[in-house]
Structure 1
Amino acid sequence: MCGFVAAIGKDHKEIVSEGTLRSMTRMLTHRGPDDEGLWNERELAFGFRRLSIIDLSPQGHQPMLSAEGRYVIVFNGEIYNYLELRAELEDKGVRFSSHTDTEVLLAAYQLWGEKCLSKLSGMFAFVVADRWERNVFAARDPLGIKPLYHWEDGKAHIFCSEPKALLPYAELEPDYAALDEYLCFRGLSGPGTLFKNLKSVQPGSCLTWRNGILSKKRYFELENSFSEAFGGSFAEACETVESALQESVKLHLRSDVELGIQLSGGVDSSLVTALAAKQSGKAFHTFSISVPGGAEDESAYQKMVSQQYGSIHHDYPVDDALLMELLPQAAWGFGAPLNDPNSIAAWHLSREAKKHVTVMLSGEGADESFLGYRRHAPEMLSEKCRSAKLRRIPGVKWLAGRWPFQVGRSWRRALALDPVLFAQSLGNLDLSLLLQREKGNPAKGFRAEMRNVAGDDLTKGIILQDQAAYLAPWLQRADTMGMAHALEFRVPLCTKGIFQLANSLPYRLKVYNGERKAILKKIAEKYLPMELIYRKKVGFSVPGKDWIEGRGPFRNFVGEMLSASAAKKRPFAETAHFREVRRRFDAGEAERHAGFFWTYANLELWQQIFFEGGWKRFSEGSSK
């Protein structure tokens, strides 16, 4: 919906000038091209860029003040149940001057304070200041669909929608302490970022600034939603989930601007398309990426769904040359080392879709909640259970980590790496093992915390890693790549209520008779062709591994970045891990998903853009 900056001076004095605040805010122009607002009062300074979606009138201007002038808010996101909340507040005597969800949120906070968070259905990040008491409250939605970052230095606390907003304020520095986790998993869990002094506010968290002290609290803990309390049959589970999905899609269709749907051709996005078409009775624009001639090309299934529901379909073919041309712009938009070659395709799809719509629904989150990944299959879990049991035998982990022979290498990797933590690893496991032996377990912090929550329950452990650690970086990818073009992504299969429902269902129902994501597939039988539902899962992907290991622009890019003179001087260049990755690349060896090849190359590109002035050629705010 928007982008904002909210600064708090620690010494009760002006922390940023109006000129600096404006420059910081304009770094987020891509998120909100429709309007700009600044509010600066002593130690408090708010800047806002608006993307108009609900109530397009000037009454939606932010920062927004309450009627009596006590509170001021900046808010990014959507409160989908704002009409119901508005009616509840009106019954309590609240009067409104606009039709925005922002005014409803502000009134809800005025009346209920922090407790308003339990009433919100939506995706959000917001900051509210009490001008009379000089207190500040900030919060992020339960699943982390909308980003919220927190910068702290000796002078200020600054909240912002993207790290790039800080560039006019401070010289950003890389934080290599978080690098190992990013290399293994292509994303960071919990509050960590790759920038010093910058944290990501965790999903389901809120912060309060009062009397010079900033306190933090998690108001929603996803790990506590695992109950498997549902006692019904498979058919009853399907009926309950279908009803919840219908209601979620209905709420996600609320908008005063044109909506579209990202249609990959898989079960999740196709089901969203079907439910949206049934709910609205209208023909939506649908959008997809295709790779002509590639194994990842799902264009036939995309067209199948489009024809069935009468959508206005837009397919954008891509190849390695086009995506490589777009890579620097996508890297700037992402704000971190690009986590996957398909992120460039996501940037391109968003740019093209914005020519037709302002809001796009997608199927993100269903694999994590209803267990759609291969690692969720019974045979895969059984294999990991065997590894986990062997690891408990005294001395086995030590021996596996130091096994000197070539024979038994797969056995060594399986036992040396925690099967729960490394189920999501996207690189060669022997390279992950090398990294662990050299620098310690890269799955630190929040990942390790969630691992401890699961205890010996391996199935819960893997699902919890997917939901609490793995999902958030991909939601961030959807947000940043969409908002790079002022396109709002909505994820109706990814809500607090749906995850709570999914986590109340026993594993045997979600993987019914060995079929992953069985409940959603059974529901989909009412809406979609069987050949689409029960085919091999592909996902939103491009053949990045083939491109990197073949001949062409992707391989040239990786080679250039790994051998760049600047890269050779980075702190990570001295590690045995980097040297081995580079040796394998130079030797033309294959790597699973080309994970470490790709991530190291994009780490170098990211450093050139964010720390060596490269950002100035992309930035809206750098010349204003």
Structure 2
Amino acid sequence: MCGICGIFDPQSRLRPISEMNNLLRHRGPDDEGYLFAQTESGAYKQAGGPDSHPDLSLPDCNSVEVHNHDLALGSRRLAILDLSAAGHMPMTVDGRLWLVYNGEIYNYRELQAELQTLGYSFRSHADTEVILAAYTEWGTECLSRFNGMFSFAIWDAGKKRLFCARDRFGIKPFYYYWDGSSLIFASEIKALMQHPAVPAEPRESAIYDYLILGVSDHSDATFFNGIEVLPAGHFLLLDTRDRQLRIEQWWNLDLHCQEDLEAPERRAYVRGRFRELLTDAVRLRLRSDVPVGTCLSGGLDSSAIVSLCNSLMREEHVIPQGVIGDHQKTFTARNFEPEIDEHHFSRKIVDMTGAEENLVYPSSDLLWQELESFVWQLDEPVDSTSQYPQWNVMRLARQRGVKVVLDGQGGDELLAGYQSYYPTYLDEVSSREGTIAAMSAALDFARIGGTPARDCLRSYAYRKLPWRMQQTLSFFQAQRTAPGTGGSGLKAWQVSQLLIWKFQNRRLPSAPANGTGPLVKALYNDLTRTNLPKLLRYEDRNSMTFSIEARLPFLDFRLVEFVFALPVSYRISGGWTKRILRDSMRDILPNEICWRRSKLGFPVPEAKWLQAGASQIRQLLTSPATRELDRFLDPGAIEGMRALPDAALAASPGLWRIVNLVVWFKLYFQRQRREGVTGVTGTGHTELRGTEPRRGG
């Protein structure tokens, strides 16, 4: 896992590469490297910095005469596999191909063995070198052979092109700015904005989507004008001779359902195959030369991962005991409020596996103490404070000496885990089997502890309304709808009427899922557009802030492709969500976990936290940043909120989104150029050192 950045600029404005790379230090504190190249002649110069591996003798990057070059690549390495200098990046074998890379190729051993039979030799034991050999052998087709999470850039001096790619689900980030002549890219937006060519301007449409529609990370456009994200499953090719840039999709999920798997005689095979794929996904993600741990919430997904890890470590010894320790380490965020604390469930898994339990209690005091650090590291606004417990869990893992964690992200979108998917499922049942069958399914859901049948059917009816009518109703009454479609919580009177008028015809994007039923279409949409992409951003930034690599077994592409080929009854059946996971894991999970009726998601006492920060919120609402946001937020509404008592202020609709937007605007546009996060202390407080703001292009 690493941070990467790069600049192709015919004007040779390459000096910011060191500033960009320094802002990514938290992503890779173990090594630092640079390449400066002249794309026409092929000449190049390597350089290093203060964090470069001690076994390397590289000139300082600031000593390089950048006017002689038009391409610069930068890398910050978090050493996970082969901790020696052999894993240094930018990596080359022959001086003609250069790679900067963020992520992990989990099947690198198998690919390395295949490439060795084709005549390739390797001097390292890292997956980075495997990528270079795979590209040499198969060109851009190498991507389909990778099982992993990745974003990378390869400078191909022979073909005079820059080849950049992102993994199937976009687990690892890749942001870029392209003006038709210069290409600037980085793992995080904050690094990208250190280049003077990149404008420091908020994107109005993204802010509208965040405030009104309640979505983010749902398109290629970011919250910043001119800055785009390379879509998941796509690659970018830049020909440096004619300065032509093109983006192509290299992977898409096949939504064709194998209806024959519905047959009773095939169900044992399906359960076995699902278990086999999930187990192997966990097995591959335990490959590491540094300590590995697991995130444990007490929910079904994380409990399944911890249980499988335990079996693989005990029976197959997939990771050396010197790396893992005597026991698997689990990391859990608890709540002081018993009604939203899931420790009872997580503790059952700890007791069953004999894992070493590590607990943290996120608090309002610490949230408000490090609010600016939290917002700064996330790059773009976040939906709620429910992302803050994950921040604390990653910090705890770092404090315990763990460098890699496995997490259950993606399981809900893959297996229809959210209860809010049930109305969509009723739509599916109704279209296939009729209204009576849909009513029966609603009763099944209510029987096992889900939403009352009456409410479930009401939500189903609401989803049948035209989209514009849904949006109108959402201003008056909150609806339980699927992730990404429930609005932001703000009311029309809180938002600038000019903003509403300007984007009145804007609507949520929908991923193409032709020929599928309502549930599969909703899951595909959440997996690719309206829910998982933002969760992956949160996961990446929260973990990398503390130099932690987070690995996600439920997003192994083999497992995802298998599940999307199954009939919907393997996801929801008899009132139970995630049916295939429950059926496949019931022999190793406690019944209380496997057949757990409740689902809390990421519960936090947000109202209490907001009330505890009321005085700080009032200060924010009187700040220059808030005044500059008049084009987005109604000034009268903001003034009225400031005058409210603490409890009433905390209960204001969409308050967190307003607070987050104000802090984000302050950090990125009023105090944008900064030296960045200087470190993370034991308490998790990060120090921000700002310089003068920069505006426009």
Identify the TM-score tier after normalising by the shorter chain: 0.7 to 0.9
Structure 1 pair 159–167 and aligned structure 2 pair: CA distance change class (3 A): closer
Contact 1:334 / 1:481 at 8 angstroms: preserved in 2?
Answer: yes
Q: State the secondary structure of the residue aligned to 1:127.
A: strand
Alignment match of 1:322 (pick from 358, 366, 372): 366
The runs of 5 or more residues in structure 1 that have no matched partner are 403-408
Q: Quote the offset at 1:353 in angstroms.
A: 0.8
Alignment match of 2:577 (pick from 516, 533, 536): 516
Alignment match of 2:381 (pick from 333, 337, 342): 337
Q: Quote the offset at 1:502 in angstroms.
A: 1.5
Alignment match of 1:204 (pick from 233, 236, 244): 233
Q: Does 1:101 align with 2:127?
A: yes
Q: Distance in 1 between matches of 2:673 and 2:362?
A: 25
Contact 2:424 / 2:518 at 8 angstroms: preserved in 1?
Answer: no
Structure 1 pair 108–240 and aligned structure 2 pair: CA distance change class (3 A): same
Q: Quote the offset at 1:486 in angstroms.
A: 0.7
1:566 is matched with 625
Contact 1:71 / 1:131 at 8 angstroms: preserved in 2?
Answer: yes
Structure 1 pair 192–348 and aligned structure 2 pair: CA distance change class (3 A): same
Q: Distance in 2 between matches of 1:346 and 1:332?
A: 16
Q: Quote the offset at 1:300 in angstroms.
A: 2.1
TM-score using structure 2 length: 0.79
2:290 is matched with 257
Alignment match of 2:210 (pick from 173, 182, 186): 182
Say what the alpha-carbon RMSD is for the aligned residues.
3.1
Q: Distance in 2 between matches of 1:471 and 1:134?
A: 35
Alignment match of 2:74 (pick from 47, 50, 64): 47
Q: Does 1:86 align with 2:112?
A: yes
Q: Distance in 1 between matches of 2:560 and 2:125?
A: 29
Q: Distance in 2 between matches of 1:212 and 1:437?
A: 39
Alignment match of 1:33 (pick from 19, 29, 36): 29
1:525 is matched with 586
Q: Distance in 2 between matches of 1:591 and 1:229?
A: 52
Q: Quote the offset at 1:566 in angstroms.
A: 2.9
TM-score using structure 1 length: 0.88
Q: Quote the offset at 1:448 in angstroms.
A: 2.0
1:225 is matched with 255
Q: Distance in 1 between matches of 2:189 and 2:259?
A: 41
Q: Quote the offset at 1:583 in angstroms.
A: 4.7
Q: Distance in 1 between matches of 2:568 and 2:495?
A: 30
Q: Quote the offset at 1:386 in angstroms.
A: 3.2
2:422 is matched with 377
Structure 1 pair 532–456 and aligned structure 2 pair: CA distance change class (3 A): closer
Structure 1 pair 430–369 and aligned structure 2 pair: CA distance change class (3 A): farther
Runs of 4+ with deviation above 6 angstroms: 410-414, 417-421, 429-436, 588-595, 621-624
Q: Distance in 2 between matches of 1:385 and 1:245?
A: 32
**Deviation per CA, 1:195-239, whole angstroms, max 9, x where unpaired?**
1211011100101112310001111123x4353546144443322
1:22 is matched with 18
**Deviation per CA, 1:523-557, whole angstroms, max 9, x where unpaired?**
33222222223131012331113433xx322x334
The runs of 5 or more residues in structure 2 that have no matched partner are 38-68, 315-325, 428-456, 679-687, 692-697
Q: Aligned partner of 1:225: which letter?
A: L
Contact 2:420 / 2:483 at 8 angstroms: preserved in 1?
Answer: no
1:496 is matched with 557
1:114 is matched with 140
Q: Distance in 2 between matches of 1:264 and 1:460?
A: 26
Contact 2:3 / 2:187 at 8 angstroms: preserved in 1?
Answer: yes
Structure 1 pair 111–325 and aligned structure 2 pair: CA distance change class (3 A): same
Structure 1 pair 342–248 and aligned structure 2 pair: CA distance change class (3 A): same
**Deviation per CA, 1:437-496, whole angstroms, max 9, x where unpaired?**
64446864xx5241x545894323322221111101101110111101110000011122
Q: Quote the offset at 1:423 in angstroms.
A: 3.3
Contact 1:2 / 1:76 at 8 angstroms: preserved in 2?
Answer: yes
Contact 1:140 / 1:147 at 8 angstroms: preserved in 2?
Answer: yes
**Deviation per CA, 1:95-114, whole angstroms, max 9, x where unpaired?**
11111100001110111011
Alignment of 1:135-146 (within 5 A): 135-146=161-172
Q: Aligned partner of 1:146: which letter?
A: K
Of structures 1 and 2, the one scoring higher in RCO (CA 8 A, sep 6+) is: 1
Q: Does 1:475 align with 2:501?
A: no
Q: Distance in 2 between matches of 1:130 and 1:98?
A: 21
Q: Say how many residue pairs are matched.
A: 597
**Deviation per CA, 1:334-367, whole angstroms, max 9, x where unpaired?**
1112332122222222122112200011000000
Contact 1:374 / 1:380 at 8 angstroms: preserved in 2?
Answer: no
**Deviation per CA, 1:25-68, whole angstroms, max 9, x where unpaired?**
111011000000010012221000000001111000000012x2
Structure 1 pair 81–191 and aligned structure 2 pair: CA distance change class (3 A): same
Alignment match of 2:661 (pick from 597, 603, 611): 603
1:406 is matched with none
Contact 1:230 / 1:505 at 8 angstroms: preserved in 2?
Answer: no
Structure 1 pair 367–28 and aligned structure 2 pair: CA distance change class (3 A): same
Q: Distance in 2 between matches of 1:457 and 1:557?
A: 47
Q: Quote the offset at 1:172 in angstroms.
A: 2.3
Contact 1:338 / 1:599 at 8 angstroms: preserved in 2?
Answer: yes
